[in-house]
């Protein structure tokens, strides 16, 4: 009789070791979560003959009823955090416990690094059919099995999340490199125009951009724009707008007014009112010396012309704010030789210091007037502006994208 009991214990031990090995192999083969849960259920229901079971598991950050059989009760709306708040070790269900546990004999919690990952409710083990010890004898094995599977599911989710974060980081890095090519920072020299740009996104990518297009040696178009919002969605919209703008300039008989209407239609079509774009665009002809411009809700550029500074404000409401632009007012000013314009986004003039004082238009205008007295190159002018902004903000971090374009009209 004693030999028979020993054989039976060895048989149970071999069964449990084999089950653990099967689960481990499945984890190493990277079976999906559903397959692991099916394997767990098969071991408990078909091999251990457990007649009633509920498994609450934390999957993708949320508590879910992952396995349910042997009971007609529905557990999809259970507040697991509340119901199991006091259970931190294996609990034998008593007759005076809450009705939530009365269909079961044991509650087995699964913790990892002091965090609950799963709770197993089991009941009605028929020990005679599989000739193993009663329910109390199985609880450690079930807890071990549940722990292995729960940790594996969590690790798999963490690994998948890590891969997704790495993929996103790589895509953002690529998007930042592409945006840097589109916007650029540095100096460009043309026969009749001297141009410099600067761009610093608040995040890896941003929604600001500036552009200068030499139509021919006597004509040029330039602009600066700012999409509402930040990040990848703003950057994608800005790339869309920039490409559409260049297509309009290349393939249509455009005017500043027609470009504004076309861009408004494009933004409405693309984002349907979820975002808008503020734009300043200018056109200059060296033969007439006329600068024509349109400011669509943007921060007014500072023009230094004939020893004075001007803020260029004429235009319209922001692009994409309304289904159609209610008015468009084009501005015009005649430029003297070597007049300079500095266009920028709100990340420059609205940045505050520790006393909550904005950098502001007056400070920018005074700086440009002072620097122009020394006749610097436009890239030197931008460098001075950025240094002055950094000195002003001190330890206050950047809060927005910052883009600048400076043009000298020779």
- Please give the pLDDT value at position 235: 75
* Stretch 245-267: mean pLDDT: 91
- Please give the pLDDT value at position 242: 84
CATH topology for the 2-161 domain: Beta-Lactamase (3.30.450)
pLDDT at 335 exceeding the cut of 90 = yes
Residue 297 contacts residue 318 (beta carbons within 8 Å): yes
Q: Which of 207-216, 325-334, 360-369, 396-405 has the highest mean pLDDT?
A: 325-334
* Stretch 298-324: mean pLDDT: 91
- Among 3.30.9.30, 3.60.40.10, 3.40.640.10, 3.30.300.30, what is the CATH number of 180-409? 3.60.40.10
pLDDT at 384 exceeding the cut of 60 = yes
Enter the pTM of the model.
Answer: 0.61
Nearest of 340, 362, 331 to residue 349 by alpha carbon? 362
* Stretch 288-315: mean pLDDT: 92
Query: What are the residue boundaries of the structural domains of the chain, listed by start?
Result: 2-161, 180-409
- Please give the pLDDT value at position 130: 44
pLDDT digits (tens, 9 = 90+) for 71-81: 877 777 788 88
Nearest of 398, 388, 397, 331 to residue 360 by alpha carbon? 388
Q: Which of 93-97, 286-290, 348-352 has the highest mean pLDDT?
A: 286-290
pLDDT at 222 exceeding the cut of 90 = yes
Q: How confident is the model at residue 136 (pLDDT cuts 50, 70, 90)?
A: low
**H or E stretch covering 300:** none
CA angle 315, 317, 318 (to 5 degrees): 110
- Please give the pLDDT value at position 175: 56
Cβ burial of 156 (10 Å; 0-12, 13-18, 19+) is middle
The partner residues of 226 in beta bridges, in order of sequence, read 208, 278
For the chain, the average pLDDT equals: 82
- Please give the pLDDT value at position 139: 76
* pLDDT > 90 in the chain, percent: 21
Q: How confident is the model at residue 397 (pLDDT cuts 50, 70, 90)?
A: confident
Nearest of 152, 121, 156, 157 to residue 139 by alpha carbon? 121
- Please give the pLDDT value at position 312: 92
Between 178 and 101, residue with greater pLDDT? 101
Between 155 and 225, residue with greater pLDDT? 225
Residue 164 in tokens: 């997704």
pLDDT at 301 exceeding the cut of 80 = yes
pLDDT at 6 exceeding the cut of 70 = no
Between 372 and 69, residue with greater pLDDT? 69
- In 3-state terms, what secondary structure has residue 25? helix
**CA distance to 109, 118, 144, per residue, from 87 (Å):** 7, 11, 17
pLDDT at 368 exceeding the cut of 90 = no
- Please give the pLDDT value at position 133: 41
pLDDT digits (tens, 9 = 90+) for 58-70: 888 888 888 888 8
* Stretch 123-128: mean pLDDT: 58
pLDDT digits (tens, 9 = 90+) for 106-121: 888 888 888 888 898 8
* Stretch 331-356: mean pLDDT: 89
- Please give the pLDDT value at position 15: 73
DSSP conformation class of 44: I
361: phi then psi, degrees, rounded to nearest 5: -70, -40
- Please give the pLDDT value at position 204: 62
* Stretch 277-300: mean pLDDT: 94
- Please give the pLDDT value at position 134: 46
- Please give the pLDDT value at position 2: 65
Q: What is the DSSP string of 306-365?
A: TTEEEE---EESPBTSSSS-S----EEEE--TTEEEEEE-HHHHT-B-TT--B--HHHHH
Nearest of 280, 311, 310 to residue 296 by alpha carbon? 280
pLDDT at 129 exceeding the cut of 50 = no
């Amino acid at each position: 009789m004693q030999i028979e009991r020993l054989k039976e214990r060895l048989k149970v031990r071999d069964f449990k070791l084999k089950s653990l090995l099967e689960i481990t192999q499945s984890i190493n083969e990277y079976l999906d979560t559903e397959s692991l849960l099916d394997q767990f259920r098969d071991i408990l229901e078909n091999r251990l003959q457990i007649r009633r079971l509920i498994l609450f598991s934390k999957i993708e950050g949320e508590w879910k009823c992952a396995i349910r059989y042997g009971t007609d009760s529905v557990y999809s709306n259970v507040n697991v955090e509340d119901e199991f708040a006091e259970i931190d070790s294996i609990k034998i269900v008593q007759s005076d416990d809450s009705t939530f546990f009365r269909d079961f004999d044991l509650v087995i919690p699964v913790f990892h690094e002091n965090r609950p990952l799963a709770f197993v409710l089991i009941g009605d083990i028929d020990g005679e059919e599989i000739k193993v010890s009663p329910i109390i004898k199985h609880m450690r094995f079930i807890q071990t099995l549940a722990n292995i599977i729960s940790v594996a599911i969590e690790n798999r989710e963490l690994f998948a999340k890590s891969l997704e974060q790495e993929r996103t980081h790589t895509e953002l890095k690529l998007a930042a490199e592409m945006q840097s090519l589109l916007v650029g920072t540095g100096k460009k020299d043309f026969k009749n125009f001297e141009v410099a740009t600067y761009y610093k996104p608040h995040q890896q990518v941003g929604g600001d951009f500036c552009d200068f297009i030499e139509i021919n040696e006597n004509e040029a178009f330039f602009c600066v724009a700012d999409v509402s919002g930040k990040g990848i969605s703003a950057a994608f919209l800005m790339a869309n707008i920039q490409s559409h703008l260049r297509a309009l300039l290349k393939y249509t008989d455009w005017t500043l007014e027609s470009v504004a209407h076309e861009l408004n239609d494009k933004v409405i079509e693309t984002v349907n009112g979820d975002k808008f774009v503020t734009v300043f665009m200018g056109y200059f002809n060296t033969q007439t010396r006329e600068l024509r411009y349109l400011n669509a809700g943007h921060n007014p550029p500072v023009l230094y012309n004939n020893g004075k500074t001007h803020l260029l404000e004429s235009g319209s409401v922001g692009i994409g704010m309304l289904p159609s632009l209610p008015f468009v007012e084009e501005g015009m000013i005649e430029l003297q030789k070597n007049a300079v314009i500095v266009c920028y986004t709100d990340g420059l003039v609205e940045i505050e210091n520790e006393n909550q004082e904005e950098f502001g238009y007056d400070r920018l205008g005074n700086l440009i007037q002072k620097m122009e007295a020394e006749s610097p190159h436009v890239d030197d002018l931008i460098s001075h502006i950025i240094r002055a902004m950094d000195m002003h903000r001190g330890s206050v971090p950047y809060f927005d994208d910052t883009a600048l374009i400076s043009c000298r009209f020779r």
